[in-house]
Amino acid sequence: MPKQLIKGNEALVKGAVLAGCRAFYGYPITPANEIAEAAALYVPQAGGVFLQAESEVAAINMIYGASSAGIRAMTASSGPGISLMQEGVSYLAGAELPCVIVDISRAGPGLGNIAPEQGDYFQVVKGGGHGNYRTPVLAPASAQEMCDLTRLAFDLADSYRTPVYVMADGFIGQMMEPVDFLSVDPYHPRTPEWAVDGTSKTRHNLVTSIYIQPDDMERHIRKLEAKYQIITREETRWENYRTDDAELVFVGYGIISRILKSVVGMLRDRGVKAGLLRPIT
């Protein structure tokens, strides 16, 4: 694909397809609707499956099934829908199933409104469902990163066998920017060794998050915790912007980081040594 002027939400879907996403299940919600719309077009064209589920609860459980079969799968929603998915996300984390979950954040709590907001931070970063689990989170700040970080999300999900969030907001999802899709290398699908795909090769595999015996449960929790520590150590990403001599450093991610870059520039013009730390994970 050449460079295109495209919305962030659509760029995310094109990046997902290039990353090997072959299953998308979701339910409409603003401001994430363009993701489902684009997935309905591009995922089937790549030989995959798109299905509008009857609810967010159904969608996340369809993701569980597709991921169990070793298929790269993705869903997308916003605050209220992400809340409804939390039980399923916990099951995915407990069963160590890779997938990508996109949160195009909007204002809350409650029904809130459809304006962009970053209020889902703690829910997504700290693990919003029940039990002892965490999920890696990637926070794009441009349409290009909506594409590139989605590819990275699929790779991280497969490498560590975990759900991975891509957390953006309505501004990034709706804005149109040039995106170079050549920067994303095409993915060549392969069935993981642990998958349950209906063939004789995988018939003895077991995908589960239930551990009846306390000792088994403890070992599993310790295994997950060790994995999260490795992810934290190996996969933490950030951007430093004019921080070498900074005396005042702002911290902001996503669309806020772009605003803060302008603020840093204005303060520098006034003689204030300002900088920005942008968390990407």
Predicted confidence at residue 273, as pLDDT, reads: 98
pLDDT digits (tens, 9 = 90+) for 129-175: 999 999 999 999 999 999 999 999 999 999 999 999 999 999 999 99
pLDDT digits (tens, 9 = 90+) for 268-278: 999 999 999 99
Burial group, residue 72, by CB count within 10 angstroms (0-12, 13-18, 19+): buried
Structural domains present in the chain:
3-183 (3.40.50.970), 238-279 (no CATH)
DSSP string, 163-231: EEEEEEEHHHHH-EEEEEGGGSPPP-----TT---SSGGGTT--------SHHHHHHHHHHHHHHHHHH
200 Cβ neighbours under 8 A, 6+ residues apart = none
- How far apart, in Å, are the Cα atoms of 199 and each of 14, 70, 166, 195, 203? 30, 12, 32, 10, 6
Q: Give the mean pLDDT of 13-27.
A: 97
Predicted confidence at residue 114, as pLDDT, reads: 86
Report the run of H or E that residue 77 belongs to, with start and end: strand 73-77
Please give the model's pTM, rounded to 2 decimal places: 0.95
The answer, yes or no, to whether residue 242 has pLDDT greater than 90, is: yes
pLDDT digits (tens, 9 = 90+) for 60-117: 999 999 999 999 999 999 999 999 999 999 999 999 999 999 999 999 899 888 888 8
- Please provide residue 76's backbone torsions phi and psi, each rounded to the nearest 5 degrees: -145, 145
In the chain, where does DSSP find H-type helix? 8-18, 33-45, 56-68, 79-84, 86-94, 121-125, 143-160, 170-174, 214-235, 255-269
- How far apart, in Å, are the Cα atoms of 127 and each of 166, 191, 252? 14, 28, 20
HSE-CB of 156 using CA atoms within 13 angstroms: 26
Give the whole-angstrom CA distance, residue 191 versus residue 162. 16
**Tokens coding 135:** 């999920």
Whose tokens are 């609707």? That residue is: 33
pLDDT digits (tens, 9 = 90+) for 170-219: 999 999 999 998 766 667 778 888 999 887 777 788 899 999 999 999 99
Give the whole-angstrom CA distance, residue 157 versus residue 23. 15
